[in-house]
């Protein structure tokens, strides 16, 4: 079993990004990311801190805009419109989830698609769907980058994606198709998930349920990518995979933490640099 080291791959990709950014700085230009965080969700605070730290590490200029949970939708949309027209800002990110009174669709669709470094907009996800150059979702893009970093040939694999979220499952399926995998998407209404996972060469799990994928569901030699981040009752981080038992049957597997998570943040830096180059 080979443990896929997301921290190590992240470091390599970040070094490349850092090098490009320093060349840009030498020309007197810079790459900028605006991060908007609303409310005090503890997990979001951690994610945003990681994103800002990654900016500092790679040389991307970051601006953090923090608001209390009771901020008005108008105030957020006005800020986004200002940032859309700010030439120092190449990427705009609104950390999710949002407090309930805010309309996620209205807020996210206010972001100029060219600055949509999360890849959530209709324009960027549409380009991803068409197989065109796009700012694709950071987590699915990170998963493909991890597989390639370990020289795993995706073409021809029976790939099963469990979860159909717009952030992970759906775009992951599209990117795997682009790499010529045969893709099956399972979800909450799938009658017998095991029927599909038992025959899978590659399984991507993004369901948000601790230890969802168990050893009886997989075949020997399977490649498992765990995009889950959950907390156990003791407060420990764990993924969607019963790692201890499933890993014994795997050819490759990602740990949680240290697998997909660091890659998500790294691909955000990658997308921000890409948005700068496109501008
Ligand atoms: N919340 C959980 N994952 C994400 C993500 O990838 N982007 C944003 N903006 N918020 C999130």
**What's the order of all strands across the beta sheet hosting 32-38?**
61-67, 32-38, 91-94
Atom of ligand 1 nearest to the CA of 93: 9
Active site residue 100: no
Third-level CATH fold of 138-261: Rossmann fold (3.40.50)
**Nearest-angstrom CA–CA distance, 179 and 173:** 10
Task: Say if pTM beats, i.e. exceeds, 0.85.
Answer: yes
CATH match of 28-112 with 3.40.1260.10 = no
Q: Whose CA is nearest to atom 8 of ligand 1?
A: 95
Domain regions of the chain by residue span: 28-112, 138-261
For the chain, which residues score pLDDT lower than 70? none
Atom of ligand 1 nearest to the CA of 264: 6
pLDDT of residue 232: 87
Active site residue 95: yes
> Same CATH topology for 28-112 and 138-261?
yes
From the list 250, 215, 230, 98, the residue with the least C-alpha distance to 163 is 230
Among residues 51, 115, 170, 274, which one is catalytic? 51
Peptide bond just before 257 cis, omega within 30 deg: yes
Active site residue 170: no
Residue of 35, 36, 118 with the most ligand 1 atoms within 8 Å of its CB, for mutation:
118
Among residues 8, 27, 112, 118, which one is catalytic? 118
């Amino acid at each position: 079993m080979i443990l896929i080291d997301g921290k190590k791959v992240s470091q390599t990709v970040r070094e490349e990004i850092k090098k490009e950014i320093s060349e840009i700085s030498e020309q007197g230009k810079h790459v900028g990311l605006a991060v908007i965080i609303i409310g005090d969700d503890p997990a979001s605070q951690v994610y945003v801190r990681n994103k800002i730290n990654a900016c500092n590490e790679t040389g991307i200029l970051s601006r953090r805009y923090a608001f209390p949970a009771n901020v008005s939708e108008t105030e957020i949309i006005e800020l986004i419109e200002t940032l859309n027209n700010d030439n120092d800002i190449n990427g705009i990110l609104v950390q999710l989830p949002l407090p309930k009174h805010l309309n996620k669709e209205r807020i996210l669709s206010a972001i100029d698609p060219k600055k949509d470094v999360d890849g959530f907009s209709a324009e960027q996800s549409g380009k991803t769907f068409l197989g065109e150059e796009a700012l694709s979702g950071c987590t699915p893009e990170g998963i493909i980058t991890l597989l390639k970093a370990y020289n795993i040939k995706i073409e021809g694999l029976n790939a099963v994606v469990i979860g159909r979220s717009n952030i992970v499952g759906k775009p992951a399926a599209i990117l795997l198709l682009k790499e010529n995998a045969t893709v099956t998407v399972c979800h909450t209404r799938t009658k017998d998930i095991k029927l599909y996972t038992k025959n899978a060469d590659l399984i991507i799990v993004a369901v948000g349920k601790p230890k969802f994928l168990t050893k009886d569901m997989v075949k020997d030699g399977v490649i498992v990518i765990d995009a889950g981040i959950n907390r156990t009752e003791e407060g420990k981080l764990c993924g969607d995979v019963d790692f201890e038992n499933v890993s014994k049957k795997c050819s490759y597997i990602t740990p949680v933490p240290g697998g997909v998570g660091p890659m998500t943040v790294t691909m955000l830096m990658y997308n921000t640099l890409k948005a700068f180059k496109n501008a």
